[in-house]
């Protein structure tokens, strides 16, 4: 397992946090995702054989949020 810490911009409430967490939880290979409003970030544990940091970032941007 690998862990990625991804800054997420554009989240304004706990509903946004829930949305990002749900999107990440549905990705194949993601074991866990902790999303926080302050600081705006996602800490994601994933299996690099099934998911990549780029795929995780793409899922977040597809959900309507920005990543660094």
Give the pLDDT confidence of 6-26 residue by residue, as tens digits: 999 999 999 999 999 999 999
Domain carrying residue 51: 2-67
CATH code (residue 34): 3.30.70.100
Q: Is 36 left (phi over 0), alpha (psi -120 to 50) or beta?
A: beta
Residue 16 and residue 22: Cα distance in Å, rounded?
10
33 has which bridge partners?
A: 44
Contacts of 16 (CB under 8 A, 6+ apart): 10, 37, 65
What is the number of domains present in the chain? Answer: 1
Distance CA 19, CA 15 (A): 6
For residue 11, cis peptide bond before it (omega within 30 degrees of 0)? no
pLDDT of residue 68: 79
pTM: 0.89
């Amino acid at each position: 397992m690998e862990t990625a810490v991804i800054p997420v911009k554009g989240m304004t409430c706990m509903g946004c946090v829930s949305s990002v967490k749900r999107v990440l939880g549905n990705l194949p290979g993601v074991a866990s995702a902790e999303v926080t409003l302050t600081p705006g970030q996602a800490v994601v544990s994933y299996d690099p054989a099934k998911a990549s940091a780029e795929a995780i970032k793409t899922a977040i941007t597809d959900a309507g949020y920005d990543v660094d």
